[in-house]
Amino acid sequence: MTSTTNCTRAVVEDYLRRAAEGDPERIAAIYAEKVDWMVAENPQVPWIRSRSTRADVAGHWVDLASYTVPGRGAFSIDAIVVEGSEAVVMGHLSGTVRATGKTFSGPFALRLSVDDGLITRHHIYENSLSVAEACTPEGRTSVV
């Protein structure tokens, strides 16, 4: 394994520990000032929006905590694949939307890029339909 791969793995594992702790500022501190952030846009989901800075990353975690209640086993990791400065984390996530009381769950894949010990790319692929449906009040139709 190259030293770049080892560094990337260490940063990703540190990120996952920080994410499990849930402190937005501590999570954001492992990101570069400018971040290539991508989550599929979904107008039904209030915490999903464009983000591009370290401060935006902290804001994401603040928003996520204010809109959701983590589910039992809310975040589990199945595999971490690292090659050079690139990593993919695969797992499962779940939670409950506070406003509706509805739950969401599904698999996810998270692509991270690490440069100089900081995360510069955060692209997540998740079950956006499940999340949107959980955000939709009873009696309304989800728009995805």
pLDDT of residue 142: 53
If one counts the domains in the chain, the total is 1
With respect to residue 144, please indicate whether it lies within any of the assigned structural domains. Answer: no
Q: Where residue 41 falls among pLDDT bands split at 50, 70, 90?
A: confident
pLDDT of residue 128: 87
The whole domain housing 128 covers 3-135
With respect to residue 81, please indicate whether it lies within any of the assigned structural domains. Answer: yes
| The total number of residues written for the chain in this structure | 144
The C-alpha angle 39, 44, 47, rounded to 5 degrees, equals 50
| Per-residue pLDDT tens digits for 46-104 | 898 889 999 999 999 999 999 998 766 578 999 999 999 999 999 999 999 999 999 99
With respect to residue 142, please indicate whether it lies within any of the assigned structural domains. Answer: no
- Percent share of the chain, pLDDT over 90: 77
With respect to residue 50, please indicate whether it lies within any of the assigned structural domains. Answer: yes
Residue 143 has pLDDT above 60, yes or no: no
Which CATH number fits the domain that encloses residue 115? Answer: 3.10.450.50
With respect to residue 92, please indicate whether it lies within any of the assigned structural domains. Answer: yes
Residue 70 tokens, joined: 């983590």
With respect to residue 89, please indicate whether it lies within any of the assigned structural domains. Answer: yes
Residue 73 tokens, joined: 């086993």
With respect to residue 62, please indicate whether it lies within any of the assigned structural domains. Answer: yes
Contacts 24+ apart (CB under 8 A), 40-47: 40/125, 40/126, 40/128, 42/128, 42/131, 42/132, 42/144, 43/143, 44/131, 44/132, 44/135, 44/136, 44/142, 44/143, 44/144, 45/128, 45/131, 45/132, 45/135, 46/135
With respect to residue 33, please indicate whether it lies within any of the assigned structural domains. Answer: yes
Residue 2 has pLDDT above 90, yes or no: no
Its pTM stands at 0.90
